[in-house]
Amino acid sequence: MTIQLVWFRNDLRLADHAALIAAAARGPVAALFVLDDETPGQFGSGWRTGAAQRWWLHHSLASLGRSIAARGGRLILRRGRAGPIVQALAGELGADVHTIMHHEPWALVQEDEAGAVTRHHGATLAPPASVLSGTGGRYRIFTPWWKRLLEQMPPPRPLPVPDVRWADVAGAASDDLDGWRLLPTAPDWAGGFSDWQPGEAGAAARVADFARRAARYDDTRNLPAVEGTSRLSPHLALGEISPNAAWHGIADAVGEAVAEPYLRELGWRDFGQNIIDQFPDHGDVPGREAFTRFPFRDDPDGFRAWCRGQTGYPIVDAGMRQLWATGWMHNRVRMIAASFLVKHQLIDWREGERWFWDCLVDADYGSNSLGWQWVMGSGVDSSPFNRIFAPVGQSVKFGAADYIRRWVPELAKLSDEAIHAPWEAGVALIRAGVKLGRDYPAPIVNHEAARARALAAFAAARGA
């Protein structure tokens, strides 16, 4: 029988994997993953997998390889331009090729260059092109898109790992995973990543953990000091769990009505795929023409202060330090930190986007570009530019005191009232032994002045 080659990409799982299920029904299966930095590198500013996600990828591939080996198979690893490698291995094995469809622009090039490939749905709740308006058009705005998507929901229930007859591919060359050097060594900056459990089993454990808290999601998701979010995003980004499985895992636990706020977030992830499917350059090109003229500032020192969590605004600095230490940042704080960079500092959103891309274990082209353009106000669906987050107000509103204490320990002794704006703390600073400018920086910008400057810059861009 003809070998069926399953080409894994950002779908590193065996359960509810449509390509694997179809391949197993047709013949003996071979499994392949290609580390391709070349094809993503040719788009825009280059989109090779970032450093933090490479750490995750190493452990996820090790987990997938063990799962396949335990069932009698072998995961073949190759490195290089994916399309030609897939085509060559298929020719070597005399194999038919199956893969899950992905919607990043480089994924489409990979598929085209791979030759004859059977593509299967499985990276989103519904194929992006299937969510259409009454006139057959594509949606650019989330709310009407979400309402139309719900007409196709719930998604099909996830399918278990199929019975697979693994092909004998002992003669096929395979790279050594350790030889790819995906893990940091000099220095090893991933020490704070130890709370993560990459892989399919880790994704299942994360769903089970969140299912116990999901009924409180709408009340706690914006509170960075509380474990209110699912933390499933890295597992979804590399496809260790299907979106269908995430949907049903939470909806079954608390009921679909109670789960709706979280299910809507799964929808937002799908919406990002819908946007990049229509606008492949969304990670590099503003969705609104006025923002091509926006007068961003060249401020290397300010950008460095933001990256290092040294802006003098505790909520921003806590988020940026959490990102560096753990490869993840609370979603509410992501919005606050992003808004601060592009509106308080007037630094190009693409610089922040690329920093997140390199530092996030859950880096996702659709979600990342959608989020940054939403905050900037430049996306086809975005927040108005004049919605400028006040970092102190946000910090107070969402009870971030304990979150700040964890990630900005210089301020740990300050009271809940003083910690959000330490430069206003006066006697409390002295009592806590904090000296602004040495222990903790003074604010690098004044909020009101920065807001006025940002609005003036926007007016200039619109009137140019």
Q: What is the CA radius of gyration of the chain?
A: 23
- Domain with 212, as residue range(s), is 124-155+200-278
Whether residue 284 lies inside any domain: the answer is no
At 421 the pLDDT is 97
User: Do residues 77 and 32 share a domain?
Assistant: yes
- What pLDDT, in 10s, does the model give residues 191-227? 999 999 999 999 999 999 999 999 999 999 999 999 9
CATH number at residue 73: 3.40.50.620
For residue range 413-446, list pLDDT tens digits in order: 999 999 999 999 999 999 999 999 999 999 999 9
| C-beta neighbour count of 73 within 10 angstroms | 22
Q: Are 410 and 331 contacting, i.e. CB atoms less than 8 angstroms apart?
A: no
pLDDT digits (tens, 9 = 90+) for 39-91: 999 998 899 999 999 999 999 999 999 999 999 999 999 999 999 999 999 99
316 found inside a domain: yes
Number of structural domains the chain divides into: 3
- Residues 367 and 263 grouped into a single domain: no
Pair 18, 98 in one domain? yes
Sign of CA dihedral 218, 221, 223, 229: positive
Reported as a single tens digit per residue, the pLDDT across 94-133 is 999 999 999 999 999 999 999 999 999 999 999 999 999 9
**pLDDT tens, 251-309?**
999 999 999 999 999 999 999 999 999 999 999 999 999 999 999 999 999 999 999 99
Same domain, 85 and 151: no
User: Which residue type does 258 have?
Assistant: V
Looking at the structure, tell me whether residues 299 and 246 fall in a common domain: no
Q: Which amino acid is at 170?
A: A
What is the percent of the chain where pLDDT is above 90?
A: 98
pLDDT surpassing 70 at residue 464: no
On whether both 30 and 148 belong to a single domain, the answer is no
CA distances from 412 to 29, 269, 406, 429, 439 (A): 55, 35, 7, 11, 12
Both tokens of 209, joined, read: 């953990």
| Residue 425 belongs to domain with CATH number | 1.10.579.10
Question: What's the predicted TM-score (pTM) here?
Answer: 0.97
CATH of residue 132: 1.25.40.80
